[in-house]
Structure formats: structure tokens, C-alpha cells
A and B are shown apart, each in its own frame.
Chain A
Amino acid sequence: MHLRTALCAASALALVASTAYAETITIATVNNGDMIRMQGYTDDFTAKTGHTVEWVTLEENVLRQRVTTDITTKGGAFDIMTIGMYETPIWGKNGWLVPLDGLSAEYDVDDILPAMRNGLSHDGTLYAAPFYGESSMVMYRTDLMEKAGLEMPKAPTWDFIREAAIAMTDRDNEINGVCLRGKAGWGEGGAFITVTGNSFGARWFDEDWKAQFDQPEWANALNFFVDLMNEAGPPGYATNGFNENLSLFQQGKCGMWIDATVAASFVTNPNDSTVADKVGFALAPDNGLGKRSNWLWAWALAIPAGTQKADAAKQFIEWATSKEYIELVAAKEGWANVPPGARTSLYANPEYQKVPFAQMTLDSINAADPNNPTVKPVPYVGIQFVAIPEFAGIATEVSQEFSAAYAGQQTVEEALAKAQALTTDAMEAAGY
């Protein structure tokens, strides 16, 4: 009798305690497949912790502006923010994020891919946990490659890409040899031309933070890109970004597409892609200088310093970026749908190794080094970006100049001269 009473009392106390500590956390996130999928599994988190979750889903650029406003003013509108590799080290350095230390042993923080962990840390402290990571790689049509009498190497060069692109181009049947980003925007065409430049030995700044667009490496990279796209790219490529190229590739109008590894799941999905069973993968091309043109990116979860619910937020991050979450998604929706590019153990899993693009994604991520992005030494961290606050503004303007050159509104030389001038002005104004 006494035992039963004690048990009842203990249960009641536990219930009261869990209710008392139950919080509602607000999470700002982007609208992409993996994030939307996570929203569907929130009940699992609530069942385990008692905390409930409110989602604010926004388009990437809107989200970036929204969370930047909130974190710089310590508004406290969000308890968790979805941010990328560009923001994390800068915001961590400014003290705007709660350090992710003291994570539980079960979480196994050492299992996070080293490239991701480094990119999301400042001075060795992790400030955001990667939900999924990506690099870039070549996706190509195996049937068109065969028809062209060529074989895609695992690690192609830009010269091979050009040769294959010209051979695969069939203007009468609206097949373009290669589809690449030309759209203005630092995260769109700006990211692509930066990594292309890396493989040609170009860099944004020298060790003294002097702009380098007047150097021959940039002229070589940009001229190569423009010539390649004029010969084998789709018409109007200057306005094509990820979605436009995805649409072209899914409709069978691209021989090759070099873009984010996350695109692999889209182009191999038979519900959306007309070429789902004819897609092969290869590493992003190089130019024989020892650097490949692939980037590194992660969408990660971070806790803003202004939140009052840091403990509940940390619990959510542990749940969402854990091995258990990956297993939960795999059990419900299959291994091809788990968030990729974040954990080492995922790539050691024999089931995941059967996914056609798994190994190539890991190889691409491992081939990216944010601390040594290009051939010559640089004073900055970042592959397709430079992790300084001024970069987003400068790179947006530079990419606009480049897009104008792609559209034939100015020459490559004019675009580079303008890029050099505006970058120099902005960096001087910023005190570099």
C-alpha cells in the first residue's frame, strides 16, 4: 500500500516537473526538403522532452535578413536559427551565439564530419550543429556521355568538361552540354565563379587583403567560363541559378550540371526527373593546380544569445542533429532521404553506402578545405565565400558585374576592372 502511494506520488511529481519545465521554442528555418521533413517529426521531440516547437519557415534570403536583424538587436524572437557556414564563425566571434559546449556523451560530437565542425566553429568552439551539409559535384547524363563516345573520369579536369560539353551539345534537340549558374547573387552565380576561380588559382584577396581581380588567374577563369557557356551552355544562362538549372536537367536538357550535392536526390527522383535512371556523378573539376572547384556548405542550427530558453533549444539541437534522428528518418522514409553530409557514422553505414550519390558526396565534402581554398595562401576562411561581414555586400555587386559580362552587356575585362575597383573601395572603407 505504501509502495503504491509512493509510486503514485513520484509519478505525479515527475509529471508536474516535466510540465513545469516544458517550453515552447521558436525556430527560424529555410524551406528545403530536409528541413520540412524535420518539421514532420517534431512530435518525436515533444514526446521525449515535453517541449513544443513553433516553426517560422522563410525563403533563404528573407530568413537571412530576418535573423540578422533579430540577432544584432538581441530581439529574442527566435530560440533557434538556421544559419550557414558564412554566418556562424562571424556571429560566434561577435558573441551573438550560445556556444554548443556540454553536449551529451550520447550525442557524440566527434562524429560530426571534421570539415563541417571546423566550418561551424570559431577559435575551436562549436557555435552551430550541422543539420545537413553539402559540397558540389558533377552530375551528368550517362546516356549522352556514352553517345558522345566519352567516359567521365571520377575526378575530371575542366578541359575534359569542355570537351565533353561541346560533344554533348545538340542545339537542334535543345540539349546543352553543360548547365552552370550565372545568376547574380553571392550565394548563386557568385559562389560558382568563386570556386571555379579557386581551381584556376584565383583568390579574392592576397595576404594583405588587397583585391585580386586584376590578376591573370581571374581573367583566365572568367574567360574560360564565358567561352564554355557560349559554346555549350543554355541560352540566357546569365539568369540561371540552382532552380533554373535543376529544371533544365530534370527535363533532359543538360548533358552535365555542376552544382550542390543535395541536387542528386532531386535529379534521381523518378517522380520529378525524366532522366532519373541516367545520371552519373563525378568530383567537381580541377585545372591541374591541385584545387578542385567544389564548395562546402552546411545548414546548421544555432542558439542566439538573446534567447531565454537556451536549455530547451540545446535539447532540440541535440535531437535534430543526432544519429537517432537519422535512424528515425531512415526507418520511416528510407536511407536516401536522411539529411546528408553531417555525420561520419552515416557514411560508414552499409545501408547508406548503397545510396548512389553517398560516396561521391562524402568525397566532395572531404576534398573541400575552407582554410586553404585556393592555390596561393589567403588571409581568409571560406571556399565559396570569405568569412568577413563585408563579403555578402561586395560579392553581390561583383557577381552582378560578372552576370552582366555573361549576358554580353560588357566584356570580361570591363567586369573584372569594375570588380577590382568596387572591392578595393569597399575594403578600404571597411578599414582593411
Chain B
Amino acid sequence: MARAVTSQRKTINTVIAWGVGLLIFFPILWTILTSFKTEAQAINDPPLFLFFDWTLENYSVVQERSDYMRFLWNSVIIAGGSTILGTIIAVPAAWSMAFVPSKRTKDILLWMLSTKMLPAVGVLYPIYLLFIQLGLLDTRIGLVIVLMLINLPIIVWMLYTYFKEIPGEILEAARMDGAGLRDEILYVLTPMAVPGIASTILLNLILAWNEAFWTLNLTAANAGPLTAFIASYSSPEGLFFAKLSAASTMAIAPILILGWFSQKQLVRGLTFGAVK
């Protein structure tokens, strides 16, 4: 029997949720606030929260020094390309594992995940040498492939979990109505799994957007995305926190806006099948 939730309890839950939400968001909020301070205000002790002379100077310095649009465009291509390519490969793979499992399906799923257990730096040299041989160093296509491969296990796992929630009988019915494999996946399975696929795409877009090991190590002047843009403002000898914060804010703004507008879809997808 479902328990009635009292309004007092609801209020407490809401307050806790807001508190936790603000706590998680605080570093981002602080970065945004710091980006509007002068370098001296950025290191002021006690820290200045809202009452300081707001300035856009850091943004103009960053704009002047770096070609933001080039980095942004690289990020869009690399994150978008790797996610789309990964999804195209993962949907049939997850379908086969969810609806026509073999004896080894579970093992394959675990094996795929095991690739995430190796520290990335462990394979840096082999991949770097491979990139030199294939002429992929400092190219967007090279990064699209690498990030797709890195995120593929997560995409397959997420889609597999969503697909498992869909009754196999529906697909059987489609087959009995004469649907081929392509029609079954495209017109029956995919529409039912849209929330799951959408949240998978969003999550992987965020992962690829923020990836900072391969994007820094496999790029130079041409294919560097926004992670390289941020890295160029970090300095161990000199206090440039306000400029670094401005660069960080500019780098996370697009993905933050995307996340804000798609939060309902994201939450729906992430909680898909969580409550039976």
C-alpha cells in the first residue's frame, strides 16, 4: 500500500534536494562569479561573493587572445560526431544483446566494460604511434574515432538496460506482421526507447565534451577542442584565476545550456525503468 507523503515531509525533501543541488552546483557558480572579478578580487581573502565591481574585462582578454569559435567548433564536431557514430553502432549491438542473447552475452558486456578499467595513460604511446602512422594526429576525425571507442561500452550498456525493459513480445508481434530486422529496430524498438536513447546521447555528449586526456594529448594547433582552450589559461607561475574562470565559463556554457533545456528528457531517461 502506498504511503501518504505528508506536506511537512515534502517540504523537508524539497529543502534537502535544493541544498544538495546547490552544493553540487556551487563550484560552477563560483567559477562563473570569479570570471566577472579582477585578478586581485579573485584571490581576495575573505572571498568576495556578490559584492564586487563586476567586470567583463576577462572575457574581452580571452576573446582577444584565443580563437574561441575554432575551439568551440572542434568541440561540437568531436563530441557530436563521436556520440552519433557510437549510437549508430551501439543500437544494433544493444538490440542483439537484449533480444537475442547468446551464452556469451553477459561475458561480452563485462569484457566491454573492462576496457574502462585501464588507465588511459597506459595506452597513450600505442595509440599515439598508431595515430602517427595513420596520419590522424591533430585531426578531428581521429578524436571522433577515439572518443567513440572510449564511450562505446557506456552507450551499449545504457541502451542494453533500456532495451531490456521493453517487452520482447512487442517485437515478436512486429515480426509476425512482416517487419524485417531494419524495420523492427527503426520503427518499433527505437520509438519506444526514445527517452533512453535521448538520455544516452545527452550523457555521452557531455562525457565527450568534457574529455580532457585524449583531447589534450592527441591535438596540437588544429583539432584542439574547448578542453585545450581551458588548459591554455592554467598557469603554475602567475595568478590568472579570473581569466581561467572566464575561459572555463565560455567552455561549459554550451553544454550547460543544452543540459538545462533537456533536463526533463535527461531525468526521464536516467530514471527509465528505475521504479517497477
Contact present for B125 and A69 (CB under 8 Å): yes
Contact present for A251 and B45 (CB under 8 Å): yes
A30, chain B: closest CB distance, angstroms: 7
* CB of B238 closer than 8 Å to a CB of A: yes
Instruction: Name the A residues within 8 Å of B137 (CB-CB).
Output: 75-77
Q: A32-B238, A241-B236 are in contact. List 5 more A-B contacts (CB 8 A).
A: A31-B235, A36-B65, A70-B128, A73-B132, A76-B132
Contact present for A31 and B128 (CB under 8 Å): no
Knowing A243-B237, A260-B237, A262-B237 are in contact, say whether A59-B40 is a contact too (CB < 8 A).
no
Instruction: Name the A residues within 8 Å of B256 (CB-CB).
Output: none
- Please measure, in the bound complex, the distance between the C-alpha atom of A28 and the C-alpha atom of B216, giving whole angstroms: 12
B240, chain A: closest CB distance, angstroms: 7
Contact present for A62 and B237 (CB under 8 Å): no
* CB of A220 closer than 8 Å to a CB of B: no
Instruction: Name the B residues within 8 Å of A250 (CB-CB).
Output: 40, 43, 239
B39, chain A: closest CB distance, angstroms: 6
Knowing A31-B232, A69-B124, A272-B40 are in contact, say whether A243-B132 is a contact too (CB < 8 A).
no
| Closest Cβ neighbor of A54 among chain B residues | B221
Contact present for A32 and B216 (CB under 8 Å): no
| Closest Cβ neighbor of A61 among chain B residues | B236
- Please measure, in the bound complex, the distance between the C-alpha atom of A66 and the C-alpha atom of B124, giving whole angstroms: 11
Instruction: Name the A residues within 8 Å of B232 (CB-CB).
Output: 31, 56-59
Which among A36, A60, A187 has the greatest number of chain B C-beta atoms within 10 A? A36
Could you list 30 examples of A-B contacts with CB < 8 Å? Answer: A26-B220, A28-B220, A31-B238, A32-B235, A54-B222, A56-B220, A56-B232, A59-B235, A60-B237, A62-B216, A74-B132, A75-B128, A75-B132, A76-B132, A76-B137, A77-B138, A78-B220, A187-B236, A241-B236, A243-B236, A243-B238, A247-B239, A250-B40, A250-B43, A250-B239, A251-B43, A251-B44, A253-B45, A262-B237, A266-B238
B40 CB contact (under 8 Å) in A28, A74, A271:
A271
* CB of B55 closer than 8 Å to a CB of A: no
* CB of B231 closer than 8 Å to a CB of A: yes
Question: Which B residues from 225 to 244 make CB contacts under 8 A with A?
Answer: 228, 231-240
* CB of B224 closer than 8 Å to a CB of A: yes
Residues of A within 8 A of B (CB): 26, 28, 30-33, 36, 39, 54-62, 65-66, 69-70, 72-78, 187-188, 241-243, 246-247, 250-251, 253, 260, 262-263, 266, 271-272, 274
Instruction: Name the B residues within 8 Å of A74 (CB-CB).
Output: 132
Instruction: Name the B residues within 8 Å of A66 (CB-CB).
Output: 216-217
* CB of B173 closer than 8 Å to a CB of A: no
- Please measure, in the bound complex, the distance between the C-alpha atom of A268 and the C-alpha atom of B244, giving whole angstroms: 22
3 tightest A-B contacts by CB? A54-B221, A57-B232, A59-B234
* CB of B129 closer than 8 Å to a CB of A: yes
Knowing A26-B220, A250-B40, A251-B43 are in contact, say whether A73-B129 is a contact too (CB < 8 A).
yes
Instruction: Name the A residues within 8 Å of B217 (CB-CB).
Output: 65-66, 69
A413, chain B: closest CB distance, angstroms: 31
Which among B39, B45, B231, B236 has the greatest number of chain A C-beta atoms within 10 A? B236
- Please measure, in the bound complex, the distance between the C-alpha atom of A54 and the C-alpha atom of B65, giving whole angstroms: 12
B119, chain A: closest CB distance, angstroms: 13
B236 CB contact (under 8 Å) in A26, A28, A59, A76:
A59
B45, chain A: closest CB distance, angstroms: 6
Instruction: Name the A residues within 8 Å of B222 (CB-CB).
Output: 54
Q: Mark B197-226, 1 if CB is under 8 A from A, else 0.
A: 000000000000000000011011110100
A58 CB contact (under 8 Å) in B65, B132, B138, B216:
B216
B208, chain A: closest CB distance, angstroms: 19
- Please measure, in the bound complex, the distance between the C-alpha atom of A74 and the C-alpha atom of B131, giving whole angstroms: 12
Contact present for B233 and A31 (CB under 8 Å): yes
A396, chain B: closest CB distance, angstroms: 14
- Please measure, in the bound complex, the distance between the C-alpha atom of A242 and the C-alpha atom of B220, giving whole angstroms: 28
B126, chain A: closest CB distance, angstroms: 10
B231 CB contact (under 8 Å) in A59, A69, A243:
A59
B237 CB contact (under 8 Å) in A75, A242, A253, A274:
A242
Instruction: Name the B residues within 8 Å of A253 (CB-CB).
Output: 45
| Closest Cβ neighbor of B129 among chain A residues | A73
Contact present for A55 and B221 (CB under 8 Å): yes
A45, chain B: closest CB distance, angstroms: 16
| Closest Cβ neighbor of A266 among chain B residues | B238
Instruction: Name the B residues within 8 Å of A76 (CB-CB).
Output: 132, 137
| Closest Cβ neighbor of B132 among chain A residues | A75
Q: Mark B34-51, 1 if CB is under 8 A from A, else 0.
A: 000001100111000000
Contact present for A30 and B235 (CB under 8 Å): yes
A247 CB contact (under 8 Å) in B43, B234, B236:
B43
A174, chain B: closest CB distance, angstroms: 8
B166, chain A: closest CB distance, angstroms: 44
- Please measure, in the bound complex, the distance between the C-alpha atom of A59 and the C-alpha atom of B235, giving whole angstroms: 5
| Closest Cβ neighbor of B43 among chain A residues | A247
Instruction: Name the A residues within 8 Å of B220 (CB-CB).
Output: 26, 28, 54, 56, 77-78
- Please measure, in the bound complex, the distance between the C-alpha atom of A247 and the C-alpha atom of B45, giving whole angstroms: 9
- Please measure, in the bound complex, the distance between the C-alpha atom of A28 and the C-alpha atom of B129, giving whole angstroms: 19
A341, chain B: closest CB distance, angstroms: 13
A26 CB contact (under 8 Å) in B129, B221, B233:
B221
Instruction: Name the B residues within 8 Å of A251 (CB-CB).
Output: 43-45
- Please measure, in the bound complex, the distance between the C-alpha atom of A75 and the C-alpha atom of B240, giving whole angstroms: 31
B225, chain A: closest CB distance, angstroms: 13
Question: Which B residues from 14 to 45 make CB contacts under 8 A with A?
Answer: 39-40, 43-45
- Please measure, in the bound complex, the distance between the C-alpha atom of A55 and the C-alpha atom of B66, giving whole angstroms: 10
- Please measure, in the bound complex, the distance between the C-alpha atom of A320 and the C-alpha atom of B132, giving whole angstroms: 29
Instruction: Name the B residues within 8 Å of A59 (CB-CB).
Output: 231-232, 234-236
Which among A60, A77, A251, A260 has the greatest number of chain B C-beta atoms within 10 A? A77
Instruction: Name the A residues within 8 Å of B39 (CB-CB).
Output: 271-272
A60, chain B: closest CB distance, angstroms: 5
A73, chain B: closest CB distance, angstroms: 5
| Closest Cβ neighbor of B40 among chain A residues | A272
- Please measure, in the bound complex, the distance between the C-alpha atom of A250 and the C-alpha atom of B65, giving whole angstroms: 26
Instruction: Name the B residues within 8 Å of A271 (CB-CB).
Output: 39-40
Instruction: Name the A residues within 8 Å of B240 (CB-CB).
Output: 31
B127, chain A: closest CB distance, angstroms: 10
Instruction: Name the B residues within 8 Å of A241 (CB-CB).
Output: 236
Instruction: Name the B residues within 8 Å of A247 (CB-CB).
Output: 43, 45, 239
Contact present for A266 and B239 (CB under 8 Å): yes
Contact present for A242 and B236 (CB under 8 Å): yes
